[in-house]
Chain A
Amino acid sequence: MSSIASVQPSAHHHDASHGEETGVWSWITTVDHKRIAVMYFVTATLFFLMGGAEALLMRIQLVGPERDFLSPEVYNQLFTMHGTTMVFLVAMPMAVAFFNFVVPLQIGARDVAFPRLNAFSYWVFLFGGLYMNSSFLFGAAPNASWVGYSTLTSATYSPGLNVDFWFIGLSILGIASIAGGVNFITTIVNMRAPGMTLMRMPLFTWMTFVTSFLLITAIPVIAVALIFLGFDRVFATTFFNPAAGGDPVLWQHLFWLFGHPEVYILVLPAFGVISDVIPTFSRKPLFGYPIVVYAGVLIGFIGWGVWSHHMFTVGLGPIADAFFVAATMIIAIPTGVKIFNWMATMWGGSLRFTTAMLFSLGLLVVFTVGGLSGIMHASAPVNLQQHDSYFVVAHFHYVIVGGAMMGLWAGLYYWFPKVSGRFMSETLGKWHFWTTMIGFNLTFFPMHFAGLLGMPRRIFTYSAQLNVEVYNQLSTVGAFIFGISGLIMVWNLVKSWRSGAVAPADPWGAPHLEWSIPSPPHHYNFPRIPTIRSREPLWDEDERREIEALTLTEPHEEPVMPNPSYWPLLLAAAITLAWGLVMTGVWWIIVLGLLPVTFCVFKWAFEPAFPEGH
């Protein structure tokens, strides 16, 4: 035992890079979940800055009535790309960055189930995002909003390439999500360390599990809708063409059948993060662990039965409306249960207000405001008044920024020491937090009033007679403060990555398995796989000693890790090319485009995943 105690975390700082390549090529060909996580996070942060810049341009345009800083055409492109970017290129991949880094470490695995598929998911996400954003170079960015309602997106009403970039880009991104969902379900079901039963899994792993199920079930629905849209545009099919008997409302059903589970795809990972962060900084086990798990699973289920609350103004009839009003109000119950469990966890705990904890509290406050306005327009008659107004814009920013981004930022400050072996700056972190809170609320709270006074969404300007100028001015000031908070975060990331204070293996005194290995971890994560006996293994002194005897030691022999591979990248590129060629509308070009895809699939299948002899 004494030899184990003498192993200092700092000594592992050098060991971690032992046997691991560095340099650009090693990143391009990596199948290591930890590196893929870093690539996901960095890419999503860059898209975040881009989506933020789009928002600021819109706020400049809206600072006063009847301004012409942006033309209506450009404004349409900006709000469409802002929404699409923030949902598909920021919130989702940023959550996936955490899935990647944290889940294998929390369950005691050396990697995910399918390491190359994991790298493939990242490259597909990157290329899909670049493909969609390349539309700006042609002045043809998507311009029919992130929900792409039919018939606005038809070839008749949206000629030009804008909507083509949108539906092709989104269908490429869907591939990454399904592959990721399959990967994480398999990893979590099959690869947990001995003794880690389902009800001993950390909440973040649990919520990754639920989210993965939502991914593999919801994404196929939008995939089919996008195929219909694509066929309508490229091959003149009649799915959404009313003149030929097609039903535009079908698009809305399919979109929101995906779209509402998507909301939970965005917020459940963040719920998972703060369910790990709050107990750590309260020094208390999570209050009512099974209830929090069941509530998360229940949210995942009920999330499938509320989609038409986005469609009350369609006129589906009183019976359908009543059903969706009830289902929507019911889903507030498990969500409320979680909020109370987090508060009860803090009750009587010895609280430490680190930046990670502050962002978790920020989630509680901001998300609750969004939840309350959500209950307001869950009621169909109220909804009719608020639909398509800035009230709704305020609501879903409170939900998504509050419910998803706040939690992910909490996770950033919480797990950064594990990723890099260094702390994020707490001073800059607190600046980040408070500028976020002030900027965010100043931007979006006034939108409630602007919306109730009748200011419609997605319109490039407003009339002075609407008397909403003051609210818009407040929003614009708030948006710039919020923008600055993003820059502070990036500065903190860069600075801390280079010269942050060195972090030990378990810098927070946290209970879960990822804190039992050195920071940063070996490329094989666990020298030897420990056995788990409880829900908070590191908070039990005996169990901790047993685990660390296996995790803070040298392995008997270097564990065999999968080979690096460039086929994930090439296959992702081939798929992006093939999908892009759909734009031509010429069937033989589209078929030819599938040849590189087939070639890459075969090269991948016949490439040995592990070194010779394993």
Chain B
Amino acid sequence: MAHAIAAADDHHRTWTGVSNWKLGFWTFIASECLFFGTLISTYMVYKGRAVVGPYPEDIFNILLTTTSTTILLFSSLAMVLALDAVNRARKGLAIFWLGMVMLMGLAFIGIELYEYMHFIHEGLTVTSSTFGSSYYVVTGTHKLHVLVGVIWMGTLAWLIHKDRIPPEKSEQVEVAGLYWHFVDVIWIVIFTLVYLIS
């Protein structure tokens, strides 16, 4: 994306000093905030208004969800270390940490899917109540975002393996990191509002 600036400006500069790619991605994240904001607001509006059970307090297992949340939070640390490794041209280390990000992301999805199975077994489905509909759509949308992130990290690891991300192109990893941290932060909001506050 450094190229885009070259075409845009004879002087190879941008007004903010931030590349178009990164600024554009921040803008996209702003848009995503409204997207998740609307989803989570809907959950909050419908909170306590379901007319048939099971209700949240019947089925939420805070311990299990705390575990998955912790795993996802630590994946952000791995992401930071991966970027650092790319910056220091430590190829193997970078791939290792990106692998850890993927592993933790998949573990998170796995635990959450286990939770889904458990809830469905208890009788909570997308069609059973407004609680079921909003719960599954809000958390499902988030899980899709995690999955996209995992695929993105895998692609980056492969590119690093092929020597296509030298330190001067580390911004590619940095922007993927922005995405990953954003998805993490959204989960903290969901975890707090959906699971913790009853």
Q: Scoring B residues 1 to 29 as 1 if CB is less than 8 Å from chain A, else 0, what string do you get?
A: 10111111111001110101001100110
A194 vs B52: C-alpha distance in the bound complex, in angstroms? 63
Interface-facing stretch out of A79-87, A238-246, A415-423, A564-572:
A238-246
| Stretch of A105-113, A124-132, A339-347, A394-402 with 4 or more beta carbons under 8 angstroms from chain B | A105-113
Residue of A nearest to B24 (CB): A186
Q: Is the CB of B45 within 8 A of A110?
A: no
Report if A440 contacts B (CB, 8 A): no
| Interface size classification for chain A | 35 or more
Per-position 1/0 for B106-139, Cβ under 8 A of A:
0000000000000000000011111011100100
> Are B14 and A224 within 8 A (Cβ)?
no
Query: Could you tell me the distance in whole angstroms from the C-beta of A238 to the nearest C-beta in chain B?
Result: 5
Which one of A214-222, A348-356, A535-543, A575-583 contacts B? A214-222
B38 in the interface (beta carbon within 8 A): yes
CB closest residue in chain B, given A598? B151
* Nearest-Cβ distance from residue B43 to partner chain A, whole angstroms: 11
Among A191, A223, A561, the residue within 8 A (CB) of B14 is A191
B45 and A236 form a contact (CB under 8 A): no
Q: CB-CB < 8 A to A217: which residues of B?
A: 30-31, 34
Flag if A239 contacts B7 (CB, 8 Å).
no
Evaluate contact between A191 and B15: CB separation under 8 angstroms.
yes
- Quote the shortest CB–CB distance from A173 to chain B (angstroms): 15
Interface stretch of the complex, out of A143-151, A176-184, A359-367? A176-184
Contact at B133–A224, with CB atoms within 8 Å? no
Assess whether B133 is in contact with A221, with CB atoms less than 8 Å apart. Answer: no
A560 to B4, CA, bound (A): 10
Please measure, in the bound complex, the distance between the C-alpha atom of A25 and the C-alpha atom of B50, giving whole angstroms: 55
Chain A residues with Cβ below 8 Å from B88 are none
Contact of A111 among B8, B32, B126, B128 (CB under 8 A): B8
Other-chain residue from B39, B129, B137 in contact with A244 (beta carbon distance below 8 A): B129
- Residues of chain B within 8 A (CB-CB) of A224 are 35, 38-39, 42
B9 to chain A, nearest CB (A): 6
C-alpha spacing A113/B126, complex, angstroms? 41
CB pair B34 A221 closer than 8 Å: yes
* A237 and B137 in contact, given A190-B18, A221-B34, A614-B3 (Cβ under 8 angstroms): yes
Q: Which residue of B lies closest to A550 (CB)?
A: B10
Query: Which of chain B's residues has its CB closest to A231's CB?
Result: B137
Q: Taking A190-B15, A245-B49, A528-B10 as contacts, is the C-beta distance between A237 and B126 under 8 angstroms?
A: yes
Interface centre among A238, A247, A602, A610 (most CB of B within 10 A): A238
In the complex, A238 Cα to B124 Cα: how many Å?
Answer: 13
CA distance A220 to B38 in the complex (A): 8
Chain B contact residues, majority secondary structure: helix
- Name B20's contact: one of A190, A227, A236 (CB within 8 Å): A190
User: Given known contacts A109-B8, A529-B10, A562-B4, is B38 in contact with A254 (CB within 8 Å)?
Assistant: yes
B130 touches A220 (CB 8 A): no
- Which residues of the partner chain A approach B16 to less than 8 Å between Cβ atoms? 189-190
Given contacts A238-B133, A610-B7, contact A186 B45 (CB under 8 A): no
Contact with B along A202-233 (1 / 0, CB 8 A): 00000000000000111111011101100100
- With A and B bound together, what is the CA distance between A68 and B157 in angstroms? 66
Of the listed residues B10, B31, B45, the one surrounded by the most CB atoms of chain A closer than 10 A to its CB is B31
- B17: nearest chain-A partner, CB-CB: A190
B63 contacts the other chain (CB 8 A): no
Q: Which residue from chain A places its CB closest to the CB of B31 in the assembled complex?
A: A216
A235 on interface, CB distance cutoff 8 Å? yes
A609, B4: Cβ atoms closer than 8 Å = yes
User: Is B46 interfacial (CB 8 A cutoff)?
Assistant: yes
A238 to B38, CA, bound (A): 17
Q: Is A191 touching B133 in the complex (CB atoms < 8 A)?
A: no
* Cβ-defined partner of B129 (8 Å) among A178, A189, A245, A602: A245
Residue B197 interfacial (CB < 8 Å): no
- Quick check: B130 and A114 within 8 Å, CB to CB? no
Please give, as numbers and ranges, the residues of chain A lying within 8 Å of B50 by CB-CB distance.
245
A190-B126 in contact (CB<8A): no
Docked pose: A43 CA to B178 CA in angstroms: 36
CA distance A182 to B20 in the complex (A): 10
Residues of B within 8 A of A115 (CB): 4
Other-chain contact of B7, A231, A236, A560 (Cβ < 8 Å): A560
- The B59-103 residues at the A interface (CB cut-off 8 A) are none
Q: Given contacts A224-B42, A250-B42, is CB(A192)–CB(B6) below 8 Å?
A: no
Q: How far is the CA of A257 from the CA of B38 in the complex (A)?
A: 10
Bound Cα distance from A115 to B6, whole angstroms: 13
The interface residues of chain B lying within 8 Å CB-to-CB of A178 are: 28, 31
Once the chains are docked, how many angstroms separate the CA of A238 from the CA of B132?
Answer: 9
Query: Among the listed B4, B15, B42, B49, which residue makes an inter-chain contact with A114, where contact means beta carbons less than 8 Å apart?
Result: B4
User: Which chain A positions have C-beta within 8 A of B126?
Assistant: 231, 235-237
Report Cα–Cα, A109/B7, bound state, in Å.
9
- 13 further A-B contacts with Cβ under 8 Å, apart from A186-B23, A560-B6, A614-B6, are A113-B4, A190-B14, A190-B20, A191-B14, A221-B38, A231-B137, A237-B137, A238-B128, A238-B132, A239-B134, A246-B133, A609-B3, A610-B7
- Nearest 10 interchain pairs by C-beta: A220-B35, A237-B133, A190-B14, A216-B31, A224-B38, A220-B34, A113-B20, A186-B24, A245-B51, A610-B3
Chain B residues within CB distance 8 Å of chain A: 1, 3-11, 14-16, 18, 20, 23-24, 27-28, 30-32, 34-35, 37-39, 42, 45-46, 49-52, 126-130, 132-134, 137, 155
Residues of chain A whose beta carbon lies under 8 Å from any beta carbon of chain B: 109-111, 113-115, 178, 181-183, 185-187, 189-192, 194, 216-221, 223-225, 227-228, 231, 235-239, 244-247, 250, 254, 257, 528-529, 559-562, 602, 605, 609-610, 614
A-B contacts, 5 listed (Cβ < 8 Å) = A178-B28, A186-B27, A191-B15, A237-B127, A614-B3
